[in-house]
Amino acid sequence: MTVQEQSMRANFRRPFLNWKTLAAFLLGFALYPALMLFPYPFFRHEAHAKNIAVYSDQSISPELFPLLAHVEQRLQRSPLDDPRLQHRVFICNSTWLFAFFANTDSHAGGVNKAWLNQYIFLRRAEIQRNRLIGPSGTEVPGERTLVYFISHEIVHTLEENLLGRNGYLRLPAWKREGYADYVARDRAFVFGEQLPAYRRNAYEMNPKRSGLYLRYQLYVTYLLDQEHLTPQQMLTGRIAEPASDTNGVMGIYNREDLFSTQSSASFSILAAAIVSSRVFSSLLPTRRVMARTHTWPRQIASRPEFLRA
């Protein structure tokens, strides 16, 4: 047998996983959940403002405190806000650090481990400029500021606090993300101004393609501002997400359908998205009927930024 044949035979007999590799794998498997529960060794710097604690792997600018005050103002819009809750936000200025903690959500702007411990992990941030840094290394422009991202993720904690872990995990994405954006976004969002983009199925209105939640926020805004449901009713009610129907007219929305267990497309917000105020006026001749249906404001679309929260 030649030397080469002996070497090949020895390699063939070598086990694919030796005990050292297996031990390292098991150690990593056990260590990862521990680090998710106790990530503090990676974040040496911290700042506290009322019930929000911010941790970072780099020094924290004192300009963070006015931003946290704005976060608190946005959270106070929600009746779910509870000042007794303690929120922990971890800013990952290193790309690998965010990928490590975000795991399968590493393409997002931030994640909230609400189902585990309600810890929030964000991408690199420019605190002085109130901006989050996207995957491309540039600032996320527009109204989706650092204040927005922190507020959005904290709202997930409020949702989990209301619904419990199991209820939160079963919550449809349009409710979970729609309400988070409803609270966290600047009040410049106007329901009627988003309808043209919704009608033409614009890129930013498709959450799967754009990573944005404008469509979901539109649904939630309709239920809370037009139908005057409470957030508790909206989050806990049996409300089916409406099917897209931008080419035709769906039935007039009936409030009783909101909590019908048989309604597969019960809440037809699309009555707003696909019919102009003029058409509604012709269909609803009396003042009494108008009170039970909806007219919509002037439609002016705006294009948002594309990084998922």
User: Does any domain span residue 30?
Assistant: no
Question: Do 6 and 15 meet the contact criterion of CB atoms below 8 Å apart?
Answer: no
For position 30, what pLDDT does the model report? 76
Q: Are residues 123 and 231 in the same domain?
A: no
User: Does any domain span residue 142?
Assistant: yes
For position 304, what pLDDT does the model report? 36
Over residues 39-89, the pLDDT tens digits come to: 999 999 999 999 999 999 999 999 999 999 999 999 999 999 999 999 999
- State pTM to two decimals: 0.75
Residue % of the chain over a pLDDT of 90: 50
Q: Is the pLDDT of residue 108 over 50?
A: yes
Task: Supply the range of the domain harboring residue 214.
Answer: 180-290
For position 240, what pLDDT does the model report? 87
Q: Are residues 73 and 92 in the same domain?
A: yes
For position 138, what pLDDT does the model report? 92
What is the pLDDT confidence band of residue 14, given thresholds at 50, 70 and 90? low
Q: Are residues 159 and 111 in the same domain?
A: yes
Q: Are residues 184 and 246 in the same domain?
A: yes
Over residues 209-253, the pLDDT tens digits come to: 888 899 999 999 999 998 999 999 999 999 988 865 443 323 223
Q: Are residues 155 and 189 in the same domain?
A: no
User: Does any domain span residue 196?
Assistant: yes
Q: Are residues 197 and 80 in the same domain?
A: no
What is the pLDDT confidence band of residue 188, given thresholds at 50, 70 and 90? confident
Q: Is the pLDDT of residue 11 over 70?
A: no
Q: Which of 117, 147, 171 is at the close of a domain?
A: 171
Give the burial class of 1: count Cβ atoms within 10 A of its Cβ; 0-12 exposed, 13-18 middle, 19 or more buried. exposed
Q: Is the pLDDT of residue 283 over 60?
A: no
Number of structural domains (the chain) is 2
For position 18, what pLDDT does the model report? 67
- Say which CATH number the domain at 75 has: 3.40.30
Q: Is the pLDDT of residue 199 over 90?
A: no
